[in-house]
Structure 1
């Protein structure tokens, strides 16, 4: 119709994104998020690594400070020990020189060697020999200090009523001689001003106490005595009245009977009495030992005893 307003022009529609474009945008935003997460993770890892390095550095620093403090603490003791270690070789050299000098002839003796040895101390070979002896002495003394159980070396344990003092004495002297300590029990010369001598005297005294019973220790060992004094006290206990010991033991030996003992025990005890008499200075002849053995046999061995009496030659105990 004329006069009617014209119809409105159609409005253009806004273009809608396609599904492909929408997927691309989603992937891009996801990749950005992942990249941001990885960046944060790397940053966190770097921060943690830095903290770990700082803690490790701090721990090393603390440990170093602790070592320095420990070194400062033990330094005086180490210095003292080093000074003592320096004095031990000198003391050993001095002792070796004294022992060697004791074996030399007196000046002016008739052997013609008194004047020729006046310069022996300037001999390099002599000095080297003394140093070798000192080193060997230090090594032996260190081994002696390390002995934990003296009864492994001296299996005999001496008692007040023991009859094997001689064997015990010989066994003990073998051990102290092995470690060059025999002078502590055989010599009256003492060196209480020498720390090494005092230390080794304590060792020998400990060995003496470990090879005798408590009953004998109460009699022979007094606190503060040297090993030599204790050794002489033990010796006097057995040798001071050896005649009385020998008298009683000889009577027991000659009247000893087998009784109900087995033959091995009987022979062992009889031989032990003979050895004890020998240690007391009253040795028993082998023939006398066999005669006493035959005389003491019980009825079960009477025929064997008769055969032994008639044997030619007369049998020995062994």
Structure 2
């Protein structure tokens, strides 16, 4: 831990080959986990672990306000459209995770509100049911409820198509096998 938190002055450790080897391995590991853009922004020759860690951290901490604003804008603009409920909820969850990571977490209730506000017309009729439940549904419960409704709607639509096809194949309403001889 003293490699990353700066509690050990690396300049005092130049004579300790084991400490330097560990420090070099940690720096290498840190750099290999970065995207190319981030690597080129933070990499400095002869960095110790503390310097590399601090440089990487500043890339994320220096723009917290902008990242928070951007994530909140994307969250509020999110609509289901043609996405399945699973995909729509996954996008809400990803944005909630980003907001949590920048220190601006969403409550479960805010996630449910976002979910309901972005529902497609196909599932908008479910919003009153979800909001009327006491205690209020959690995000995971609302997701599950909407997935079941989505399955039901899909099954209903398939039955309607099958019925329509069957009716179309029998224009007089009589079964083709029910001939009177």
The reply to whether TM is greater than 0.5 is yes
For 2:75 and 2:101, how far apart are their aligned partners in 1?
A: 14
Counterpart contact for 1:184–1:201, Cα < 8 Å: yes
Unaligned runs of 5+ in 1: 1-181
- Equivalent-residue separation in structure 1 for 2:2 and 2:94 (angstroms): 30
Does residue 244 (structure 1) correspond to residue 95 (structure 2)? The answer is no
Q: Which residue of 187, 196, 200 maps to 2:6?
A: 187
Deviations 1:118-161 (A, max 9, x none): xxxxxxxxxxxxxxxxxxxxxxxxxxxxxxxxxxxxxxxxxxxx
Match of 2:99 in 1: 277
- Measure, in 2, the Cα distance between the counterparts of 1:266 and 1:316: 16
Q: Residues of 2 paired with 1:227 and 1:261: CA distance?
A: 44
Structure 1 position 292 matched with structure 2 position 111: no
Equivalent of residue 253 in structure 1, options 65, 69, 75: 75
Cα distance in 2 for residues equivalent to 1:266 and 1:311: 22
- The residue that corresponds to 1:222 in the other structure is 44
Aligned to 1:95: none
Question: Aligned in 2, Cα 1:232/1:304: closer, same or farther, shift over 3 Å?
Answer: same
- Equivalent residues in 2 for 1:9-24, closer than 5 Å: none
Runs of 4 or more off by more than 4 Å in structure 1? none
- The equivalences for 1:28-47 within 5 A come to none
Q: Which residue of 2 aligns with 1:267?
A: 89
Radius of gyration: which is bigger?
1
Deviations 1:148-197 (A, max 9, x none): xxxxxxxxxxxxxxxxxxxxxxxxxxxxxxxxxx2211125222221111
Alpha-carbon deviation of 1:305?
2.7
Question: Using the alignment, how far apart are the partners of 2:114 and 2:7 within structure 1?
Answer: 43
Partner in structure 1 of residue 147 of structure 2: none
Q: Say whether the 8 Å CA contact 1:188–1:228 is kept in structure 2.
A: no
Output the TM-score relative to the length of structure 2: 0.70
RMSD of aligned Cα (Å)? 1.5
1:226, 1:259 → 2: CA distance? Answer: 49
Tell me, which stretches of 5 or more residues in structure 2 are unaligned?
Answer: 141-181
